Amino acid sequence: MDRYSEAGVDLDLAATVKADLRDIVRKSTRPEVLGAIGGFGGLFRPALSAYREPVLVASIDGVGTKLKVAALAGHHQGVGEDLVHHCVNDIATTGAEPLFFLDYVGTSRLDPESFRDVLRGMARACRRVGCALLGGETAQMPGIYHDDEYDLVGAIVGVADRHALLPKKEIKVGNLLIGLSSTGLHTNGYSLARKVLFEEENLSLATRIPGCRLTLGEELLRVHRCYLPELRRLRQLHLPLQGIAHITGGGLPENLPRILPKRLDARIETKSWRVPPLFRFLTKAGQISQEESYRVFNMGIGMVLVASADHGQQIARAVNGRIIGTLVPGQGRVLLC
């Protein structure tokens, strides 16, 4: 055994695993990709002739402690999809279309099958939205991560036309707020959820929460919904939006203000949708206040569209959403009513 392996880093194993990557990544490419996976940098020659004044939009994010649940369940493909969908949703709030995606996996010890599962999930999600999986980095760092732990981070670059960027300056009093349902916790709130469910309630992944058709493990690992298909549908129908908020960490109270002018408040009617059973169980079992629950969890709303009163109802029908509130004079806050 060489000294580096003794220190916990297996270069031979890493080389073997990386040799399989090309077949997985090849299925999630685009014509603009130049060269092959494995270089020091990914090459992408964008075709921007369709854009009058193209603007590149970039974002970076992670999956958080949802990875703990994936490791406990031994199911890793979903978190790869989670990562891509989260990043796609983030840049979609500006009106951008995804171009390419890069990933970073940091781990204590490289587990080949788990790594391949994560990558397969990312490749599948990229292929589904038409985004190239351009490259990534895998780092074995024993001493930084505990045994069998890994971290997952993704970066995305997309493009939008400058004149079509969101949010619009025309956001005003009377605009309607359209909520699109989430598929569960998505990628936020898992530290509190794990504490309540596994430490305080002593539940297992096989438990069935009242009102849930899936096991607890299946509920917690439901893939973060990608909203790009709905947003593309609105563009095809020429239905205009004034703004889009992705409801991630901070929930409705902290994400909606990111797209609002300081002169407006978002008045949310919390009874306009039925909070899913998992959230209701978490807030009751954990004795979590309404204020905190709406900051930690998405509470069943994963994206909010801002639309004019003239188009709001038509937009809601087109994307299977619901009117959950309106914009009123204020100071850039969210009012939960």
pLDDT higher than threshold 60 for residue 9: no
Specify the pLDDT at position 7.
46
Helix, strand and coil content of the chain, in percent to the nearest 5, comes to 35, 25, 40
State pLDDT tens for residues 151-199. 999 999 999 999 999 999 889 999 999 999 999 999 999 999 999 999 9
- CA-CA distance, 58 to 100, in Å (whole number)? 10
State pLDDT tens for residues 31-53. 888 877 767 788 889 889 889 99
State pLDDT tens for residues 189-245. 999 999 999 999 999 999 999 899 999 999 999 999 999 999 999 999 999 999 999
Three-state DSSP class for 326?
Answer: strand
Specify the pLDDT at position 41.
82
Q: What is the DSSP string of 125-189?
A: HHHHHT-EEEEEEEEE-BTTB-TT-EEEEEEEEEEEEGGG-SS-TT--TT-EEEEEE-SSSTTSS
Residue-wise burial string across 33-69, b where 16 or more C-beta atoms lie within 10 A, e elsewhere: beeebeeeebebeeeeeebeeebebebebbbbbbbeb
Q: Which helix (H) or strand (E) holds 324?
A: strand 322-329
Specify the pLDDT at position 86.
97
Q: Give Cβ neighbours of residue 95 (< 8 Å, ≥ 6 apart).
A: 160, 161, 164, 165, 166, 244
Q: Which helix (H) or strand (E) holds 60?
A: strand 54-62
Q: What is the DSSP string of 199-250?
A: IIS---TT---TT-SS-HHHHHTPPPPP-HHHHHHHHHTT---SEEEE--TT
pLDDT higher than threshold 90 for residue 136: no
- CA-CA distance, 4 to 27, in Å (whole number)? 34
State pLDDT tens for residues 137-151. 888 787 787 877 889
- CA-CA distance, 151 to 164, in Å (whole number)? 35
Total count of residues recorded for the chain: 337
- CA-CA distance, 14 to 100, in Å (whole number)? 24
Q: Residue 312 — pLDDT band, cuts 50, 70, 90?
A: very high
Mean pLDDT, the chain, integer: 90
Specify the pLDDT at position 43.
87
Residue found under tokens 């309540």: 196
| Maximum mean pLDDT: which of 104-108, 137-141, 302-306 | 302-306
pLDDT higher than threshold 90 for residue 20: no
| All domains of the chain in start order, with CATH | 3-164 (3.30.1330.10), 176-336 (3.90.650.10)
Q: Kindly list the distances between the CA atom of residue 219 and the CA atoms of 23, 192, 206, 275, 293, in Å, as whole numbers in the listed order.
A: 31, 15, 10, 14, 18
Specify the pLDDT at position 110.
72
Three-state DSSP class for 110?
Answer: coil
Tokens of 97: 């279309």
Q: Kindly list the distances between the CA atom of residue 155 and the CA atoms of 63, 81, 107, 152, 298, in Å, as whole numbers in the listed order.
A: 12, 13, 18, 11, 22
- CA-CA distance, 293 to 309, in Å (whole number)? 29
pLDDT higher than threshold 50 for residue 6: no
Q: Give Cβ neighbours of residue 6 (< 8 Å, ≥ 6 apart).
A: none
> pLDDT over 90 for what percent of the chain?
71
Specify the pLDDT at position 2.
61
